[in-house]
Amino acid sequence: MDFSTMVSSKSFELTAEAMGTEIVTLYVGPKRKAFTIHKKLLCDRSDYFNAAFNNLFQEGATNEMYLPEDDPETITDLVNYIYQNRLPAFRNKMYFPDLLAAILFVPRLYRLFFLAEKICFNELANKTMDYLQDICLKYGNIPCEHHIERIYGSTHAKSMLRLFVVLIWVRSSLMGDYDWNFSLCTRLDLLEKFPNLSIQYASLSMKTLGNEIVVILVGPEQKPFTVHKKLLSDRCEFFSKIFNEDFKEASNGKMVLSEDDPIAFECLISSIYQNISTPFPNRELPISKDFSEAQQACRQFSKKVWYPSFVLAHKYCMHDLENNLMDEIRFHHMQCTILPDIDDVEYIYQNTADTGKLRQYCIASLAFKLHSGMTTQEIKAYSVLADKLGKDFVFDMLNIHHKYGSHIYQGRDPWAPRLVATGGGWNVGSISYNACFFHTHISGKGNDRTLLCDPRTSQSSWGI
């Protein structure tokens, strides 16, 4: 049984402005385990740390803080929430009875609540409180005397956690072994089930973050990004070589990427810290009653964010980010019933290699348009494009149209089976998921190869 993380409806947006350029170090526990965190991100989310690092305290001068009484695991949970807006996941991996698994997991949430209350992080305290209610009320978890003693010794007199455990005990006394799904035991917004999100978050711990920081200056104006060196190196082989071998960047911890797009680089950073499948989810497409306005908004967002982000991911061989972006692009394009236009195709062909799946998506889009019928003006425009892009474009176009032709069509659901039309003796089979056709399945070479997704589900499948 696997219950995914409880997260807010919107992932936290990691931009250069949100992260800032300064770094602070928290030394946690008796052994002083070091956690390096972006100062602005930490201070903006906690009044406690804001007061410590931005006023006339010793911590503000040294950018260091000692937390000898706190638990490194709890600070790890805090760091994950600060960067990813998520709480620790409840996963019953040991095949224990659900109640036993919940009993073993809940103390971790108690400790996180203690910390949130201590550092005046009300948002985290409230979400942890909701999560505790969901688990305790779902599985009939009643705090034992030891936990109640710990709760009363670690919280203030008006703490909501104290009130909650008292209510749990009172209800248990009144109801005995009665059904815990009874309405008295459900909070107002109790979830019927824990959300099972497709997002697989990378765990941000002291080990995965490391203590070294690098600065990357992006774009013509050299917009600064401060990033954890180990996390960046582990996620991207290009940066691993730059910052860990005999290059000047390895010695000074600084790199200039003047030709890269800062908005696209923010997407890359979000992928590294959050592993999100949706870049910039807080920048939602405007909801409009006029469908043409929604189409235009989606088209502009593609040009400004998704396409440049894919180009950057392709440049640095971050294939997992490429796959996530392909899913996002295709999903929104289908919802708005749009396809890449001529300018998009030209930009993508000029900035990606022949292995780029966004190229294949463009070619499939054009093949669909060609089969559906083009005006004389459109045909002339694509002829001009063929002259610009050369034989690679012409070969790709002829190849896809010859192989799949009328079987390419525009569907509504990019992950639905049998999305590609069947007929004429050609059947892709019920297990075909055409979204996977636009994925890169293998990352790396030789013994370092990594399977990113199962290529068997995309055999003989094409579609847009």
pLDDT at 16: 87
In sequence order, what DSSP letters do the residues of 27-58 get, joined into one string? EETTTTEEEEEEHHHHHHH-HHHHHHHHSSSH
60 close to 54: Cβ distance less than 8 angstroms = yes
Of residues 154 and 27, more confidence is placed in 27
Give me 69's structure tokens.
């009484």
Weakest-pLDDT range from 40-54, 162-176, 387-401: 162-176
Threshold 0.75, pTM exceeds: no
pLDDT at 93: 56
Residue 16 corresponds to which amino acid?
A
DSSP, collapsed to helix, strand or coil, labels residue 214 as: strand
pLDDT digits (tens, 9 = 90+) for 205-237: 888 898 899 999 999 999 999 999 999 998 888
Strand order in the sheet with 254-257: 223-228, 213-218, 254-257
Is the pLDDT confidence value at 163 over 80?
yes
Sign of CA dihedral 48, 53, 54, 56: positive
Distance CA 104, CA 95 (A): 13
pLDDT at 122: 86
pLDDT digits (tens, 9 = 90+) for 305-357: 999 999 999 998 888 888 888 888 887 887 788 888 889 999 999 898 887 88
Distance CA 262, CA 221 (A): 9
**Over residues 154-159, mean pLDDT:** 84
In sequence order, what DSSP letters do the residues of 216-282 get, joined into one string? EEETTTTEEEEEEHHHHHHH-HHHHHHHHSSSHHHHH-EEEETTS-HHHHHHHHHHHHH--SSSSTT
CA torsion 250-254-256-261 (nearest 10°) is 110
Of residues 169 and 308, more confidence is placed in 308
48 close to 121: Cβ distance less than 8 angstroms = yes
Q: Kindly report the CA angle at 393 between 392 and 395, in degrees rounded to 5?
A: 65
pLDDT digits (tens, 9 = 90+) for 79-116: 999 998 889 888 755 555 677 778 888 899 999 999 99
List C-alpha distances in Å: 96 to 100, 147, 199, 262.
Answer: 6, 21, 25, 47
281 close to 10: Cβ distance less than 8 angstroms = yes
Of residues 47 and 8, more confidence is placed in 47
List C-alpha distances in Å: 172 to 102, 149, 150, 292.
Answer: 17, 18, 20, 56
Confidence of residue 386 (pLDDT cuts 50, 70, 90): confident
Show the DSSP H helices in 316-440 as ranges: 319-336, 342-351, 357-372, 376-389, 391-404
Of residues 368 and 313, more confidence is placed in 313
Confidence of residue 1 (pLDDT cuts 50, 70, 90): very low
pLDDT at 323: 87
pLDDT digits (tens, 9 = 90+) for 403-438: 665 556 544 444 443 333 322 323 333 333 455 677
Domains of the chain: 16-185 (3.30.710.10), 300-464 (no CATH)
For residue 392, report the phi and psi dihedrals to the nearest 5 degrees.
Answer: -60, -45
pLDDT digits (tens, 9 = 90+) for 120-140: 888 899 999 999 888 887 877
**Over residues 285-307, mean pLDDT:** 79
DSSP, collapsed to helix, strand or coil, labels residue 385 as: helix
pLDDT at 460: 36
List C-alpha distances in Å: 91 to 2, 95, 104, 106, 191.
Answer: 5, 10, 11, 12, 17
Give me 333's structure tokens.
């394009």
DSSP, collapsed to helix, strand or coil, labels residue 370 as: helix
pLDDT digits (tens, 9 = 90+) for 242-266: 898 878 888 899 999 999 999 999 9
Q: How far apart are the first and last CA of the chain?
A: 34
**Over residues 50-59, mean pLDDT:** 84
pLDDT at 459: 38
